[in-house]
Structure 1
């Protein structure tokens, strides 16, 4: 009896297991093997290659790792000025950031209208100043009066294209020169510049504009950035010589000027006093860079601006009256140096 019950129980167990296995086989759904999830690896921030040199405890950085096509530059012409917060340490592990450029974007030329000794006294002991003073004593010295990284007080109320208050963004060079005398009618007679002195100026300007990547459009006369109140460095300063021999500053192409002159001279006198024509001239002067109101009249501001333009680009005639040649030169320059 006991054996019989054992056989019956064993048979039931076998049947039950078989049924479960068949049931499992019928319910089986093939599954695609799971793909392991990809984890995005974080790219570590790459430190700029810091090439800081240290001399006597002072740091310097003289390599550009920024984008020169954007006029960016990380070079430091002088020691790196750093904060020294009490209780903390400033480190240069990530120095320098590539997003930077120079403060020095303009170079402005002046004359002192004083002899050498008085020029030194005024520019070093009074409220006006310049970064450099070029003497006229026949030696090979150029006087530095202000650190290039600091503002000098040479430009005053000033503007060029979209920029104003150019003390903030410029280096100023004063040239010892007696300026001008005026007769009873107001006609100005300017003092010439010494050839050796001009060579000094050219070498100094070339060095500065090369280091700071200052474009030709930003190498200017004081009269360019303040035409209603300044005349320096005047019509006898040799801008064309600097352009031809040292590749400094702006100048027009003769062929382009001539083509504009041929067009302008046809009916120049007929339209001269037309307000539309005057407005066009003022617009061209403004487009080139001069700070000028568009009045449509030959007002005092426009006359002085034309005079300043002639000092720089048409020194044979600087009476402040627009003639066909001055207008042609203006158009040639606007075409050659467009506002970006």
Structure 2
């Protein structure tokens, strides 16, 4: 009896092992097929070689753009690479750089100092205000750098443009030596002109900066654009159209588009000027272009100063802060050419 049970048990064990081997073999074949398919896909997309890091006197630099320039998504370092040095460990750049990054520098902001050369230097280097660059009025070929481009300078203050605020964080600031303006008894402002030497310096400097950081035209701005209720610089004497025409820097409207808007703009001024719905429309257009203004349907002081800032930049022949047909046509032409994305 025991012998019979032993033979039966042995038969069951052999059958069980045989079944398990068959199952394993079947699973293995399926796994082999899957693995081969993955290998084929992987070989079709080889990993890209990482750009090299330059080393000079023991300092590391990275000067290669690796991302999509059309999205302002460049990655380049024009200074040394700053790295941590944790005690007892070594930071390596085996996988440097990650592609998901971009420049801090998204804006270029232009200012005037309201001071002569010597006092401009003192204030911008010794007090709680600064800029990355200072353009003097001495007729020489020098431009003073005051702050590292990779650092924040304190030039913009409370500021806003389109969806961005606190533009010190994302901008490079250029100060230009200029005495600003004098106001008469009626409040009318007369602005100091810039020298031709200064404009050439500013243009060359701005061109270099916007090219390296791929700063779009909509982000090359006046201090008055980003803080219209507080600031007037660089004022209506600064030749924005010259920079646009001769150096391809910044924004300007198309003359044909402006003329196309002129007839309807004049009708609006003649028939709707004091209607709250029209004022709200104008304020909305200013906000859409980029200015920090909340539409309320009233010709208030904020609206007047915002229109004045627009005129400083794009209609310097008349900067009284009052909307006329040409200013209204210019604003509509600008919104047509530079829509908010």
Per the normalisation by structure 2, the TM-score is: 0.88
RMSD: 1.7
Runs of 4+ in 1 over 3 A off after TM superposition: 41-48
Q: Equivalents in 2 of 1:47, 1:86: separation in Å?
A: 32
Contact in 2 for aligned 1:48/1:95 (Cα 8 Å): no
For 1:208, the equivalent position in structure 2 comes to 209
CA contact (8 A) 2:74 2:102 kept: yes
Which structure would you say has the larger Rg? 1
| Aligned position for 1:92 | 93
Contact 1:104 1:170 in 2 (8 A): yes
**How far apart, CA to CA, are the structure 1 residues paired with 2:48 and 2:272?**
64
1:140-289 matched pairs, under 5 angstroms: 140-289=141-290
Q: For 1:224-256, what per-residue CA distance to the aligned partner results, in whole angstroms no more than 9, with x for missing partners?
A: 000001000000000000000000000000010
**Paired residues, number:** 309
TM-score by length of 1: 0.88
Shift of 1:65: 1.8
Give the SS at the match of 2:29.
coil
Query: Which of the pair is proportionally richer in helix?
Result: 2
Structure 1: gaps (5+ residues) = 1-32
Q: Which residue of 2 aligns with 1:9?
A: none
Task: Return the alpha-carbon distance in structure 2 between the equivalents of residues 196 and 104 of structure 1.
Answer: 26
Separation of aligned partners in 2, 1:48 and 1:309: 48
Structure 1 residue aligned with 2:19: none
Equivalent residue runs for 1:1-340 within 5 Å:
36-37=29-30, 38-40=33-35, 41=38, 43=42, 46=47, 48-340=49-341
**CA distances 1:109-144 after superposition (whole Å, capped 9, x unpaired):** 000000000000000000000000000000000000
Alignment partner, residue 14 of structure 2: none
Q: What is the alpha-carbon distance in structure 1 between the residues aligned to residue 84 and residue 238 of structure 2?
A: 43
Name the structure 1 match of 2:11.
Answer: none
Instruction: Judge conservation of contact 1:48–1:94 (CA < 8 Å) in 2.
Output: no
Q: Any conservation in 1 of the 2:69–2:214 contact (CA below 8 Å)?
A: no
> Separation in 2 of the partners of 1:325 and 1:317?
10
State the shift of 1:279 in Å.
0.1
Distance 1:165 1:95 in 2: 30
